Every structure is written in C-alpha cells, then in structure tokens.
C-alpha cells in the first residue's frame, strides 16, 4: 500500500499539478500583522490588477519609528532625479564622510 500526497489550491480547493503550483507570500498587508503564504495557480491570480515599477521606501524618523511606503519609479523621479539617486550612498558599508572615532569627528 502507498500514500499519495496531493496539493490543493488554498483559493479554490482544486487539486494542483506539481508544475502549476504557485506559492504566494503576502507581505505588508494593512490588516494582518504577519506575512501570510498560500498555494494557487497563475490562472487563479490572473484577475489581480498588478502595478509594475514600484519602489519601496523605508522611512525612518528621528524618534526611531519606521514605516514603508510604495511609490512608482516615475513619481519618485519627480522628487529625486535618477542621476541624483544613483549618487546616493549604498546601504552596504559606511556612509560617505563617516569617520569612526569618539563621536566628535576626530
């Protein structure tokens, strides 16, 4: 005797073939606190209206709170030209002009 494991769509309950399974991770949804995951197919996702060219901005204020917002690359370019953006520091390594020391710049 053997056992057969069948994956089903979390949306429709239909059996899924191994080559049609799509796993979706939902991040940053306003009504759920944790990321959520579900299995489905591309066909079941087809009705979603998607937006391309989004840029995630993580905004950290002086009080220490952080929030993420999403804008289109075109909207960001209206405020920060692409040439200027390319010249900003990377998140890797030290910021330009930073010198380790005792806090007074020496």
For the chain, residues with pLDDT lower than 70 are 102-106
Residues 73, 86: contact at Cβ < 8 Å? no
In whole angstroms, give the CA distance from residue 43 to residue 30: 25
The per-residue pLDDT for 90 is: 86
Evaluated on CA atoms 70, 74, 80, 82, the torsion sign reads positive
- Indicate the pTM of the whole model: 0.62
In whole angstroms, give the CA distance from residue 32 to residue 70: 18
The per-residue pLDDT for 105 is: 54
Evaluated on CA atoms 25, 31, 34, 39, the torsion sign reads negative
Domain boundaries, the chain: 1-48, 51-88
The per-residue pLDDT for 61 is: 92
């Amino acid at each position: 005797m053997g056992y057969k494991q069948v994956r089903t769509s979390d949306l429709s309950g239909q059996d899924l073939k191994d080559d049609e399974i799509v796993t979706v991770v939902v991040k940053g949804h306003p009504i759920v606190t944790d990321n959520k995951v579900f299995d489905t197919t591309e066909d079941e996702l087809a009705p979603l209206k998607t937006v391309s060219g989004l840029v995630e901005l993580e905004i950290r204020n002086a009080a220490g709170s952080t929030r993420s917002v999403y804008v289109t690359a075109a909207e960001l370019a209206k405020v920060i030209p692409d040439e200027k953006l390319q010249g900003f520091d990377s998140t890797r390594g030290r910021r330009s002009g930073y010198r380790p020391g005792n806090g007074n710049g020496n």
